[in-house]
Amino acid sequence: MTTAPTGSGPSPVNAPAKAARPTRPPGERRLLGGLMANTAVLYAAYGAVPAVLLANLVADVDPDSKSTSLGIISAIGAFGAMLANPIAGALSDRTHGRFGRRAPWMAGGALLGGLSLVAVGAGNNLLWIGVAWTLAQIFLNGLQAPLTAVVPDRTPAHRRGFFSSAVGLAQMVGVTAGTAVAAAFAHALGLGFAVFGVLVIAGTAVFLLLNREPAAAAPAGEAFRWKAFLTGFWVSPRRHPDFAWAFLGRFLLVLGYYCVSAYQLYVLDDYLGLTRDRANDLVPLLSLAMLPGLIVMIVVSGPWSDRVGRRKPFVFAASIGMAVALVLPLALRSEASMFAYAVLAGGAFGMYMAVDTALMTQVLPRPDDAAKDMGVLNIANALPQALAPAVAAGVIGAAGGYRALFVTAIVLVILGAFSILPIRAVR
């Protein structure tokens, strides 16, 4: 595996196509199915580990300071995720050889990430758990960056709403199923980590075998230079304001959502006053409550946005819907309010992920750097998820309770909604 020159090229404006649609490319169904399956197993691990397996493991190892310890471990892992995602994407952009640009990085990230998850489950002290989880974050984000580049790489612009809906559906089904399945391993944590590690490895292997990437030739351009490579991660908000607004909008909404979602076990335990066993029983039920609205909105929203040629109204409405959902458990502290929150949040987040992914593919500065730029944008998705426990711990500790956590989450998602409005290249 070798790296290719940096190259240069024009910055396209990718507006939703409303003209005559070309014939669908051959192998589209196989690509779609493989992409959804691989995404689902990756996000199953993302749903299972922070919210259930890691939270329970930290609570077992350090029950007196579980909130603070989970926040510190998550913050360290977040730093690894922040670096790995765009770096892996940029390296895959410049990789050439008979196995293609993305496949070698996906294979390596899945294998090492899966093994790291197994290592987390074997930990019996905070240092081991923190190091192993950081490695898992690094390698899994090394898989995620080239995986997300498959959509801009291999799908036409007029089909990206459909593909984004499919990928968004896979993400949320993966998170929901992962959370539900993980609850069954609440008393067998080591086995639970191993199961999700194997799933990530197997899901990636199946995708790569069924959707072989063509060999990639080295592009012409300037010779590879480290300075240019490292400075390429900075996307100027002045030169590419749409890219910056898209990044900010997703970062704020995902952070607000996962501040509550990542602490769901502790919310049920400490905020509602339930026992640990009752809280573990409710976690999968709340995940299942999200599914109906989530599936419907993901399936409907992406193709609908393709037909009308608009993305921003969908993203804005979904963000406001998320804020309304978060108000419910703040106003009424009960199991019923948590279920109502789950139902509304599922629909809002489903619409958001379906359409926002399509929007992001249309604000990329350069087609030759698609994986790197998608990797930078993925920071707005992966980093808030990893940072959310640390932010939640800080809010709970500073403000003295979970009500402040819900208020913070509501403010964040509303700010995320208004961050989408200044985007000009996409309607």
What domains can be seen in the chain, in order of their start residue?
31-217+237-419 (1.20.1250.20)
What span, in angstroms and rounded, lies between the C-alpha atoms of 369 and 376? 11
| Run of H or E residues at 374 | helix 370-399
Q: For residue 315, is pLDDT > 70?
A: yes
Q: What is the per-residue pLDDT for 8?
A: 38
What span, in angstroms and rounded, lies between the C-alpha atoms of 171 and 176? 9
What span, in angstroms and rounded, lies between the C-alpha atoms of 377 and 423? 15
Residues contacting 10, CB < 8 A, separation 6+: none
Across all residues in the chain, what is the average pLDDT?
Answer: 83
For the chain, percent of residues with pLDDT exceeding 90: 33
Q: For residue 387, is pLDDT > 80?
A: no
What span, in angstroms and rounded, lies between the C-alpha atoms of 360 and 14? 10
Q: List the Cα angle 149/365/108 in 5-degree steps.
A: 25
Query: Which is nearest to 348 in space by CA: 274, 409, 278, 264?
Result: 409
What span, in angstroms and rounded, lies between the C-alpha atoms of 52 and 74? 13
Q: Under a CB-based contact definition with an 8 Å cutoff, are residues 293 and 350 in contact? A: yes
Task: Determine how many CB atoms are found less than 10 A away from the CB of residue 104.
Answer: 18
Q: Under a CB-based contact definition with an 8 Å cutoff, are residues 379 and 243 in contact? A: no
In which residue are the tokens 């944590």 written? 189
Q: Under a CB-based contact definition with an 8 Å cutoff, are residues 216 and 101 in contact? A: yes
- Three-state DSSP class for residue 95: strand
Determine the residue type at 128. Answer: W
- Three-state DSSP class for residue 216: strand
Across residues 216-225, what is the average pLDDT?
A: 59
Which ranges in 64-188 belong to alpha helices (H)? 66-93, 103-121, 126-148, 150-154, 160-183
Q: What is the per-residue pLDDT for 88?
A: 84
**Whole-prediction pTM:** 0.68
Q: What is the per-residue pLDDT for 7?
A: 41
Residues in the chain: 427
What span, in angstroms and rounded, lies between the C-alpha atoms of 73 and 351? 31
Q: Under a CB-based contact definition with an 8 Å cutoff, are residues 266 and 54 in contact? A: no
- Three-state DSSP class for residue 92: helix
Phi first, then psi, for residue 97 (nearest 5°) are 150, 180
Task: Determine how many CB atoms are found less than 10 A away from the CB of residue 188.
Answer: 12
Q: Read off the pLDDT of residues 31-59 as tens digits, 9 standing for 90 and up.
A: 999 999 999 999 999 888 987 899 899 99
- Tell me the C-alpha to C-alpha distance, in Å, between residue 231 and each of 79, 225, 228, 255, 387: 19, 10, 5, 26, 25
Q: Under a CB-based contact definition with an 8 Å cutoff, are residues 219 and 4 in contact? A: yes
Query: Which is nearest to 261 in space by CA: 385, 360, 100, 168?
Result: 385
Joined tokens for residue 25 = 């490319």
Across residues 121-141, what is the average pLDDT?
A: 94
Joined tokens for residue 279 = 């809280």
Q: What is the per-residue pLDDT for 369?
A: 64
Q: What is the per-residue pLDDT for 15?
A: 44
Q: Read off the pLDDT of residues 66-120 as tens digits, 9 standing for 90 and up.
A: 878 888 898 888 788 878 878 888 788 878 777 888 889 999 999 999 999 999 9
What span, in angstroms and rounded, lies between the C-alpha atoms of 308 and 311? 9
What span, in angstroms and rounded, lies between the C-alpha atoms of 235 and 237? 6
Residue 9 DSSP symbol: -
Q: Under a CB-based contact definition with an 8 Å cutoff, are residues 118 and 193 in contact? A: yes
In which residue are the tokens 């990542």 written? 262
Phi first, then psi, for residue 3 (nearest 5°) are -105, 145
Task: Determine how many CB atoms are found less than 10 A away from the CB of residue 285.
Answer: 14
Q: What is the per-residue pLDDT for 120?
A: 96
Most confident of 266-270, 315-319, 378-382: 315-319
Q: Read off the pLDDT of residues 71-83 as tens digits, 9 standing for 90 and up.
A: 889 888 878 887 8
Q: Read off the pLDDT of residues 414-424 as tens digits, 9 standing for 90 and up.
A: 999 999 899 88
What span, in angstroms and rounded, lies between the C-alpha atoms of 215 and 224? 20
Joined tokens for residue 384 = 């808030």
Across residues 351-377, what is the average pLDDT?
A: 74
